[in-house]
Structure 1
Amino acid sequence: MASYLTPPVFAAFVWWFSTGAVLLLLGRAGRGHALRIICVAGLLLAGLYAVSVSTNGDSVSGAYLAFTGTILLWAAQEIAFLAGWVTGPRPEPCPPEASGIARLGFALRAILYHEAALLACGAAIAMLTWQGANQVALSTFVALWVLRQSAKINLFLGVPVTNDALLPEPVRFLKTYFAKKPVSAFFPLSVTLATAALVIMLQRLVESAASPFEIAGLSLVSTLFALGIIEHWFMLLPLPAITLWGWGMRPRPTEDGTMPHGPDLKSNNAPAHPMVVVKAGGDILKPRPNARQRLEDEFRQRFLEQHPRSEGATSLSISPEPAASIHGRSS
């Protein structure tokens, strides 16, 4: 029983943790750029090594190693893409007036280099596993690539929920290529075909998988495929997909570079006086007098000291302008 339960749990954890870790890495500031370069290089080397050494092994550990190596290679590609290093020849928002074939052309030019890099990665895995007994790495990559292309097409054609809040700042221009509207005819077609492929894999797992290696390999790939189908449903149902990786998301700074916190001074409940300061606890501090008001107060005090009032004399004082009058009389 453990041979059937452990691979799905492992694949689900790797899917969830790797996505959050990539988002967390991309959200780092300061030395984050150098750290991202080191991580991409390390992931590429570790992934290629894991795939190469697992090619001829038909053990359960070999299946896990091949699966993990492919995930590492995919993560390196995702970091390079989401960091804005490998996007396309035109990494810019879609022109508002673009539609039809023109919009498709702009979309392809925005991610063309990334797509070429993914194909190069797949070719490298195919070469490393050529005629090898362990094809888990190649099957894992094909599953990831097919589901990712399906997701991109659906986002381009239109879905109710785009989850574009997951996009880091360097590639936030891509949300202009997402169409937030009812699903197109491609969505049911893509989900149906993906579900049919998943059923075939599960049927093969139950009926023909004999060795522990085959059980582990098919379980890992089929679980990843099922999670990809669930991601498709995230585009249709109002599910809080971002909560799955909230630990990897960082608050984005405001325009002045500060992090959003405390009361909103632009809200309707905020004081209108420009010198009013709102403390974190919600208390309002009275404004300090400006320079003009201080001079007027000082002049008034000196005038009263030099011209003291006397009985019968006309009262002289300097006072501010009367308050607004009602029906011609001061209030």
Structure 2
Amino acid sequence: MTNPWIAALVTLFLWWFSTGVILWRVRHADRAGGTAHQTSVLLGLPLLLGGIWGLGTSLDEDSSIGTYIAFLSALAVWGWIELAFLSGVITGPNTDPCPPFARGWDRFWRATLTLIWHEATLVAALALLTYAAWNAANPFGLYTFALLFFARASAKLNLYLGVPRINVEFLPRPLAHLASHFCHARMNWLFPFSVTGLTFATGCWLERAYAAPTDAIMIGHILLAVLTALALLEHWFMVLPLPDQKLWRWMLPDSPGTDTSIPARK
């Protein structure tokens, strides 16, 4: 488990597999209707509780196994929150589509109210984890969650400001209105900063992995480097004409069909 290539492959597999499992569960709940989405969130509670337990027990474990446990536990907590979001349980008070005429602060406020409880949950989780992991022997659970937090915030802002390619194929029924808050555009001012920052972060993690004094620290930074590179790839999917949806489409049942149209804006 101290081989950096194994750590890289583990991260790649978990990124693909965990995303696919969440999309699969949400798609099945869409097809089932009723309270299926709420049931998914309840059935996923062991994932959340296991993640919290793993983060707590790994804080003082500075071995390679402890690093993997911290990384997996952060992904588990993050995955449950994302499941709750995609299921429409933790989103925001605004469930109305954004009208095409909305501009400026009006549009921004509507988009904020669409996501505010989800964002508040992520901020609270990050704050609690920061408090718990401050000066801990194994901070990689915190680093993993913080990386996911800032990468996702960057992706959301880019979708809001406007990018050439927006994949709404996997939006579930509870979030069908979310597509109306996205914007098609050739480019926005934030995107170059986002990809530059993620590229720089990937390089920094790799440099720290190379200079790491122990196997545990080396493995932790390899996990972060690959995860950051995947976040960078997800950003480029917003611009480059690559069929990224094919990575998961084959494993999902047919969609029941929802209106996820994006209004034109100028």
Matched residue, 2:194: 190
Contact 2:163 2:186 in 1 (8 A): yes
Are 1:210 and 2:224 an aligned pair?
no
The Cα shift of 1:172 comes to 1.5
d(CA) in 2 for partners of 1:96 and 1:73?
Answer: 35
Matched residue, 1:252: 255
Matches within 5 A, 1:88-99: 88-99=92-103
Matched residue, 1:137: 141
Distance 1:56 1:35, change over 3 A: same
Matched residue, 1:273: none
User: What amino acid is the match of 1:211?
Assistant: T
Structure 1 residue ranges without an equivalent (≥5): 256-331
Matched residue, 1:23: 23
The Cα shift of 1:129 comes to 1.9
Contact 1:51 1:128 in 2 (8 A): no
d(CA) in 2 for partners of 1:104 and 1:238?
Answer: 28
The number of equivalent residue pairs is: 254
d(CA) in 1 for partners of 2:148 and 2:81?
Answer: 12
d(CA) in 2 for partners of 1:158 and 1:130?
Answer: 37
The Cα shift of 1:190 comes to 1.3
One of 50, 55, 59 as aligned partner of 2:63:
59
After TM superposition, what 4+ stretches of structure 1 lie above 3 angstroms from structure 2?
Answer: 29-35
The Cα shift of 1:27 comes to 1.4
Matched residue, 2:263: none
Are 1:220 and 2:229 an aligned pair?
no
Distance 1:194 1:33, change over 3 A: closer
Greater Rg over alpha carbons, structure? 1
Secondary structure, counterpart of 2:44 in structure 1: helix
Matches within 5 A, 1:1-331: 3-29=3-29, 30=32, 32-33=36-37, 35-206=39-210, 208-253=211-256
The Cα shift of 1:35 comes to 4.2
* Alignment RMSD (CA, Å): 1.7
The Cα shift of 1:34 comes to 5.8
The Cα shift of 1:125 comes to 1.8
1:232-262 per-residue CA deviation (whole Å, 9 max, x = no partner) reads: 000001111111111443212369xxxxxxx
Secondary structure, counterpart of 1:77 in structure 2: helix
| Structure that is richer in helix per residue | 2
Q: % of aligned pairs identical?
A: 38
Contact 2:67 2:138 in 1 (8 A): yes
Contact 2:161 2:182 in 1 (8 A): yes
d(CA) in 1 for partners of 2:18 and 2:137?
Answer: 27
The Cα shift of 1:204 comes to 1.6
Greater Cα offset, 208-217 or 21-30: 21-30
The Cα shift of 1:96 comes to 1.6
d(CA) in 2 for partners of 1:39 and 1:219?
Answer: 32
Structure 2 residue ranges without an equivalent (≥5): 259-266
The Cα shift of 1:130 comes to 2.9
TM-score normalised by the chain length of structure 1: 0.73
Contact 2:206 2:225 in 1 (8 A): yes
User: What amino acid is the match of 2:15?
Assistant: W
User: What amino acid is the match of 1:3?
Assistant: N
The Cα shift of 1:32 comes to 3.6
Relative contact order: is structure 1 or structure 2 higher (C-alpha 8 Å, sep ≥ 6)? 2
Secondary structure, counterpart of 1:27 in structure 2: helix
TM-score normalised by the chain length of structure 2: 0.91
Contact 2:161 2:183 in 1 (8 A): yes
